[in-house]
Amino acid sequence: MKIRTLLTVALAAVLLVAASVTVGAQSKVLTFGMSQPDIGGMDPHNAPGTNDKTIVTQMYNGLVRFRPGSANPEYIEPDLAERWEVSEDGTVWTFYLRRGVQFHKGYGELTAEDVVYSLERAKDPQRSAFSSDYVIFAKIEAVDRYTVRLTLVRPVPAIQVLGVLTNYQGGMIVSKKAVEEFGDNFRMNPIGTGPFQLKEYVPRQYVELERHEEYFRGTPEIERLVYRFMPELRSRELAFRAGEIDVMEGLREQWWVEDIKQVPGAVVDVVGPGEMRTLHFNMSRPPFDDIRVRQAVSYLIDREEIMEILGRDVTEPAYSPVPPGYMAHTDDVERYDYNPEKAKQLLAEAGYPNGLHIGPVIISEVQSLLVPMQIIQEQLAREGVTMDLQVVDHQTFHDRIRQNMSNMVLYGAARFPTPDQYLTQFYHSASTVGKPTAVTNFSHFGSVIPGVDHLIDMARAEMDQQRQVEMWQLAQKLITQSAPTFPIYVQKLVFVRKDYVDLGYEFESTISLTVPFTEKTRLLK
């Protein structure tokens, strides 16, 4: 019969193809499985997402940098600048550049002109997403080919100057020639000085980088770096097991970490700084305009239980509005540890002796927000506190919480590891949602009740580091006394790599929220 013959032939062909497979042994190509479905662009001054930063961090340098494998601002070290001097009054910073640093793809030697151009660009709100970080610079000028002079509007603590000049966000240095040549298309034609340069970008598939042969710290060991967009965890994991990817972003939950550790040759890195999850109470209307209700709900949430469910290895408790590990962080604040009795008493005093209905609470379908929110919902329900939980897709979530539609907002964020950005964006009255200057102040702290604007503003300008730390610590204490938010835990990052991937540094924490690959990273296979 014809059909049978056809089937036999088809089957034979398939088996033949399967049998003729040769496993490609490419020892100098590293493949990274990303949890994001795509990137937005590779222009460092306009790359806000973690997905963008993952790629961008491999391609650019700053004047200074975080030590690889560390996000601790105490270990900021020279990068494109060899050394620097500060004038006596602290307002003039002079940076001396390394000589002979080459841009990717023949765009020439890095000069002071590129640095001036990059920092001017980072400062310009028309061309940068991080312009507010650079308002401290009054003048940015090239003294000669290898010297850059920065004049500040007023003296500012060293950490704040160096912080914005690191290989993070706006601090990255781009090629002036390339930006002028490509214009708007620069984000798809990135030219930096970093260890890797763009080879090919295929939307929703991968970004392939190749090594920058003339990288100033030496030619990288790895020849090609392939970032695959693999949003489906299961498929990322299967590809890792099958040896098709070498490093992957893992699920930040304990059971998964335990599971993947069993895979032969898998090394799990659980690192900081991670995103802090904070519950923001919307004080612009009842019931959270009453401090007793905010305190009661705080007392009803069992932080320990949440961390038990998500896993001890991947979480760390948080009590202060500033994440642990950040400069000037303190746990010497008003604490709200699980105490249902106290909560009931407070609720009764507030006029809710028989339970409370919180109203609409909007949450993203993203697992790392939805799961903890569901645990909180369950914990509150045990004591008669209910809510209308509305689960929406991530963009709808971002949209609605900015329109003040949710009575509680569970939010996760990581920022530059000093308190300034965190306090400004979440607790300064100017950042309150609904205002023209809005960022992410969902609780309306400082707008509907007195806040700590003056402390945040003063600390930012304080030259004396000791006094600055004191102001930041006082701000943390005062905030918790009003209970506008309930800091819950820090979600650490989870990466898995094959044991033959030698990163070339101690991996403790990462400012770019990804695994940085350096010129020293090797594949031992």
- Contact residues for other proteins (CB under 8 A)? 3-4, 6-7, 10, 13-14, 16-18, 20-21, 23, 37-38, 40-41, 46, 48-49, 125-126, 129, 131-132, 184-185, 187-188, 202-205, 228-232, 234-235, 238-239, 241-242, 244-245, 392-396, 398-400, 402, 413, 415, 421, 425, 436-440
Q: Determine contact, residues 252/368, Cβ cutoff 8 Å.
A: yes
- E strands along 42-121, which residues? 64-66, 76-78, 81-86, 92-97
Tell me whether residue 49 or residue 340 sits nearer to other proteins (CB atom): 49
Amino acid at 369: L
Q: Determine contact, residues 511/71, Cβ cutoff 8 Å.
A: yes
Shortest distance (Å) from residue 118 CB to other proteins: 18
Q: Determine contact, residues 3/217, Cβ cutoff 8 Å.
A: no
Tell me whether residue 6 or residue 143 sits nearer to other proteins (CB atom): 6
Tell me whether residue 421 or residue 518 sits nearer to other proteins (CB atom): 421
Tell me whether residue 380 or residue 496 sits nearer to other proteins (CB atom): 496
Amino acid at 163: G
Shortest distance (Å) from residue 370 CB to other proteins: 15
Taking residue 285's Cβ as centre, other Cβ atoms within 10 Å add up to: 12
Alpha-carbon distance values, 117 to 59, 180, 386 (Å):
18, 10, 54
Shortest distance (Å) from residue 479 CB to other proteins: 19
Tell me whether residue 259 or residue 313 sits nearer to other proteins (CB atom): 259
Shortest distance (Å) from residue 393 CB to other proteins: 7
Tell me whether residue 114 or residue 275 sits nearer to other proteins (CB atom): 275
Tell me whether residue 17 or residue 524 sits nearer to other proteins (CB atom): 17
Helices (H), 20-157: 50-56, 112-123
Shortest distance (Å) from residue 480 CB to other proteins: 23
Cα 230 to Cα 36: distance, rounded to the nearest angstrom: 6
Shortest distance (Å) from residue 328 CB to other proteins: 20
Shortest distance (Å) from residue 392 CB to other proteins: 8
Cα 244 to Cα 497: distance, rounded to the nearest angstrom: 12
Shortest distance (Å) from residue 53 CB to other proteins: 10
Cα 279 to Cα 372: distance, rounded to the nearest angstrom: 10
Alpha-carbon distance values, 484 to 93, 435, 459 (Å):
39, 18, 21
Angle at CA 464, nearest 5°, toward 460 and 468? Answer: 45
Q: Determine contact, residues 169/44, Cβ cutoff 8 Å.
A: yes
Tell me whether residue 48 or residue 353 sits nearer to other proteins (CB atom): 48
